[in-house]
Amino acid sequence: MITNNISLKEYNTLNISVKTTYFAQPKTSQETIAVLKSDTAKNNSIFILGGGSNVLFKSDFDGLVIHPCISDINILDENEDTIKVEVGAGVEWDSFVEWATNRNLYGIENLSLIPGNIGACPVQNIGAYGVEVKDVITSVQGIYLDSLESFSLSNAACKFDYRNSVFKQELKNKTLITSVCFELRKKGELNLNYGSIQKDVEALGERSLLNARKAIIAVRNSKLPDPKEFGNVGSFFKNPIIDIAIAKDIFKKYPSAPSYEVSESLVKIPAAWLIEQAGWKGKSIGNAAVHKNQALVLINSNGQATGTEILELAGAIVSDVEKKFGISLEKEVNVL
């Protein structure tokens, strides 16, 4: 059940070549408990690795990496309007979106093609095109690593925020998520008010779930590199939310700067735009580079980049954006 000296290159989408001393892939909650009760788990540091789409390894991991592979999708309840479903942590996120879309279920179509597994989606509160996964999560199930007791946290208890949750704060490195429960709608309106999505959907024909998914996949493919071609974690930085007074100063110098109102006093500025204005789009440091088509994506340009090179590039970007705009970019990726 537990193997030794395993390469993690195929288990992280940045394709960083690192190893872990011990590695386990439990396929059920019972197997997960057995791994956590093992002497290997008791005597070593533990890291829970999902799809590897939001992690940056700086070096080999001296400990036990657990890669949950629980892959069940179970319908819990349904009525005329909604359906409640429990999804195993090892299910690939986009395969679940496809599962829902094929059944004409609304709520996650805008999150098509986001990389990673179900177990990681509540940790990061993944989001795209005006939708966040917190909008459809009802509860998160898992195991506390210290006591090995099971838990079920409600949506409110997860303390979801922009790319944030209790799993990145009070419970960081203290839990293993085994499944997530969602409530999807059988009826509803599509959310097409972000960017050019509405035009892209209409160009495909009728306003349908299938066409919404097709349009979003096309947009993501046009902007984001395939990790199999260039290792990446998608958006490397969060879009900063800033005071409107700071935003107004930016608009004076850059009248066409893109922005999204968060509240009467707060504005979200795309990090990609800030990075591009700072001159980093398409630039590189060693084997790490900023993608030529999307400045928010840092890539392992030739498959030889180290985690240190990626971090050096990220640090240079953060420094230049702060100098130019007085805005400090925050990484989305989990650095290990």
Choosing from 86, 132, 183, 332, the catalytic residue is 332
**Pairing, β 288-290 against β 61-66:** unpaired
Choosing from 53, 86, 112, 163, the catalytic residue is 163
Place of tokens 């966040």: 132
Structural element, H or E, at residue 195: none
**Tokens, residue 33:** 């408990």
**How far is 267 from 325, CA to CA, in rounded Å?**
14
What is the SS3 assignment for 165? coil
Amino acid letter, residue 84:
K
Smallest CA-to-CA distance from 278 within 223, 326, 222, 224 is with 326
Instruction: Report the DSSP beta bridge partners of residue 161.
Output: 164
**How far is 246 from 37, CA to CA, in rounded Å?**
51
- Residue 209 φ/ψ, nearest 5 degrees: -60, -45
Choosing from 29, 53, 165, 235, the catalytic residue is 235
What is the SS3 assignment for 220? helix
**How far is 102 from 83, CA to CA, in rounded Å?**
14
Amino acid letter, residue 1:
M
Smallest CA-to-CA distance from 201 within 210, 190, 212, 193 is with 212
332 counts as catalytic: yes
**Tokens, residue 152:** 């079920």
What is each CA distance from 65 to 4, 11, 18, 290, in whole angstroms? 10, 11, 12, 29
235 counts as catalytic: yes
Catalytic residue annotation:
163, 235, 332
